[in-house]
Amino acid sequence: MAKDRSQRDDYAAPLRRLLTGVVCLCLLAIFLIWRIDSPRVERFRAQVIDAVVPSMGWAMVPVEGAINLVRDFQSYQRLADQNRELRSELRQMSAWKEAALQLEQENARLLDLNNVRLDPRLTYVTGVVMADSGSPFRQSVILNVGARDGVRDGWAAMDGIGLVGRISGTGQDTSRVILLTDAASAVPALIQPSGQSTLIAGDNSPAPVIDFLENPDLVRPGDRVVTSGDGNVFPAGLLIGQVTQDRFGRLRVRLSADYERLEFLRVLRHHGSEVIKDPGGLVVPAPGVTIPQPRPEGLGENAAAETDDG
């Protein structure tokens, strides 16, 4: 058995060398034939290609299938990426839609507020907010208008929408405005639509406190807060803000004025409301009705009768 195996090995080695030599010669011949520039060789090459290539179509089927599979996978990956991008854009559009709705509601609310008509006798002078140089008040600003412009202590200062504070201290060219958020600020106010009177007191926070409210159950978050005019300090009807509620359940005011961008303030010239001393003077007599005149003081009934007779 060992002898037969050795004989097979002796035949196999030369046979492998022979086959290797034949394959190399064939490859060399094909290379030379493909490199020879001759019309006859060219016709031969064309005949070989016509005979071999069509019959190799079956070998290209799996290759083409693999290529199509790769292309389909790449197309699916592109579709998945586009789907993710579209979902992200849809979320952004939803956020923009919500922001647009909020802006639309705020715009409608501001337009409604702009329909409020204040006393036509109220005039104002506009001042530029300057850097605060320090004061006993924690929440205050300096304006570049003062006594030369006729500004007086106690006058109201507003931005484009709501009340900001009051004048407290005037110089020749400047004046100080105590903001509603300062702890020293207290403004008589009216809550609409319930009509309850209250006091808006600052506590050095962005939302002043609503104090001395008679019936808190009638007040809801979102109610308008305006000045009441009590005390003859501020004119009535100036917008302050809206009712809100903090996390402890205490009612506060979300101010309408933009305290983050106080650049220009309007100082309202308010010389006080007209005081009516004779309420009867408001009653206008109907046509044809004669109002009896009061009798002179010091006359008795007989004197009054003589006066009527004579």
Same domain, 143 and 243: yes
Same domain, 146 and 239: yes
Same domain, 262 and 179: yes
Same domain, 172 and 260: yes
* Tens digits of residue pLDDT in 5-34: 555 666 677 778 888 888 888 888 777 766
Separation CA 99–CA 20 (nearest Å): 80
71 inside domain = yes
130 inside domain = yes
Separation CA 79–CA 64 (nearest Å): 22
Taking alpha carbons only, the member of 244, 210, 207, 246 closest to residue 228 is 210
* Tens digits of residue pLDDT in 113-149: 555 455 566 788 888 888 654 455 568 899 989 999 8
Same domain, 172 and 213: yes
Number of domains in the chain: 2
Same domain, 83 and 205: no
Q: Is the pLDDT of residue 243 over 70?
A: yes
Phi/psi of residue 160, nearest 5 degrees = -70, -15
Q: Is the pLDDT of residue 255 over 50?
A: yes
Can you tell me which residue has the tokens 């929440």?
139
Same domain, 211 and 86: no
Separation CA 192–CA 110 (nearest Å): 16
pTM of the model: 0.51
Same domain, 245 and 160: yes
Same domain, 228 and 250: yes
Separation CA 174–CA 125 (nearest Å): 13
16 inside domain = no
Please give the share of the chain, as a percent, with pLDDT higher than 90. 20
CATH code of the domain in which 203 resides: 2.40.10.340
Residue 305 host element (H or E): helix 301-309
Domain enclosing residue 85, as ranges? 63-110
298 inside domain = no
Residue 259 host element (H or E): none
Same domain, 77 and 201: no
Same domain, 103 and 128: no
* Tens digits of residue pLDDT in 151-163: 998 899 988 788 9
Same domain, 245 and 150: yes
